[in-house]
Amino acid sequence: MDIQPNYTPLMPKDKSVPIGCIGAGFIMADCHLVAYRQAGFNPVAIADRAIEHSSEAAKRHGIPKVHDSVNDLLEDGEIQVLDIAVPPDVQLSIIRQAVTHADHIRGILAHKPLGANFAQAAEIVHLCREAGITLAVNQNMRYDQSIRACKDLLSRGMLGEPVLATIEMRAIPHWMPWQERQGWCTLRIMSIHHLDTFRFWFGNPDRIFASVCPDPRTRFEHTDGISLYILEYDTKGLRAASWDDVWSGPAREGAGEDIYIRWRVEGTKGLARGTIGWPKYPVRTPSTLDYTTVEDNGKWHQPRWDTVWFPDAFAGPMAELLVALETGEPPSLAGDDNLGTMALVEAAYESAETHSAVSPNKWLKEK
């Protein structure tokens, strides 16, 4: 039973497809492009609203073309795939422009969240579908090695029927300046990773109950600082829950630090538990997985890897899009699928406001 779970992404046969990058902030310069160079992908052009940022990223990562504007990049006929990493309230306007260039743009990898709300995400999915452009969403936590390896264990049936799953995050994110104009922070930025992970592992829940309170460290007005929620699955009887604590105690104010992300999946035949190394970034800290089954006579298996979520896992979503373009099969991270995650986020906000359990199907029926 000492099985090494599979966590590696399927790579495209042709890695030379020309990629145009929109955005040159941290997530693009320090994650996407680092992972793409490691994987052997081919970013050929970049544009950002601040040309000094795109010029710096191009020099650092060996990108031959720096465009003066996003529009100039979209008109570059060499580009077949767009990699978009911009604030969510900007993404829709860029994709509205992009779909008018479907003569040469075949695929788009859009960052999460896919728009500032469900309505914007649904419009993006519709626009790409009508233009014949394959859309994938960069829900990159699915490509953290421990999350993906747990999915492999579940798919093999090694854990049996899932009974209870939990994620506990005690971490202090670096909020981006654009979040202040959104008026929200944790549910759409951090919790969206965990909600999407639960969907990746178990499928769509029937309802969610969420409770939130402000994070006392975050100065801009918001409601969803610390976010707690429970997902209910009627047919499976499964419950999944997460504590997304972005306060984590006064660690920045002089107290000791206790920062981590842990997850756990209990099934009728086995138990898997893991850690996520991201809170220690930029120190390379691989995520971990331990698992045991009823056939192991009490033994724990502890496969370990050298790769990390930030930045290595960011190759996975782009690889998935490139494979989809080769095979004609939709990516598992397709825009249509991601609407399930966006609906779950909307349901969480409504649940927190109404103090009641809310079904994400309310939004999915309207799409």
Q: Which of 151, 144, 153, 103 lies closest to 291 in space, CA to CA?
A: 153
Q: Could you tell me the fold of the domain covering 18-141+316-334?
A: Rossmann fold (3.40.50)
Answer yes or no: pTM beyond 0.85: yes
Count of all residues that appear for the chain in the document: 367
H-only helix segments in 183-281: 186, 192-202
Q: Which residues pair with 211 in a beta bridge?
A: 228
- Per-residue buried b or exposed e for 191-205, using 16+ beta carbons within 10 Å of the residue's own CB: bbbbbbbbbbbbebb
Instruction: Locate the domains of the chain by residue range.
Output: 18-141+316-334, 142-309+341-354
Instruction: Quote the pLDDT of residue 199.
Output: 98
Which residues in the chain come in under a pLDDT of 70? 1-3, 366-367
Q: What value does the mean pLDDT of the chain take?
A: 96
Q: How far is residue 61 from each of residues 19, 32, 34, 166, 359, measured CA to CA in Å? A: 13, 11, 7, 38, 44
Report the chain's terminal Cα–Cα distance, integer Å: 44
Q: How far is residue 209 from each of residues 178, 185, 356, measured CA to CA in Å? A: 28, 18, 6
- Segment (H or E) for 327: helix 315-327
Instruction: Quote the pLDDT of residue 124.
Output: 98
Q: Dump pLDDT digits (tens) for 279-302.
A: 999 999 999 999 999 999 999 999
Find out if CATH 3.30.360.10 is the number for domain 142-309+341-354. Answer: yes
Instruction: Quote the pLDDT of residue 367.
Output: 60
Instruction: Quote the pLDDT of residue 363.
Output: 95
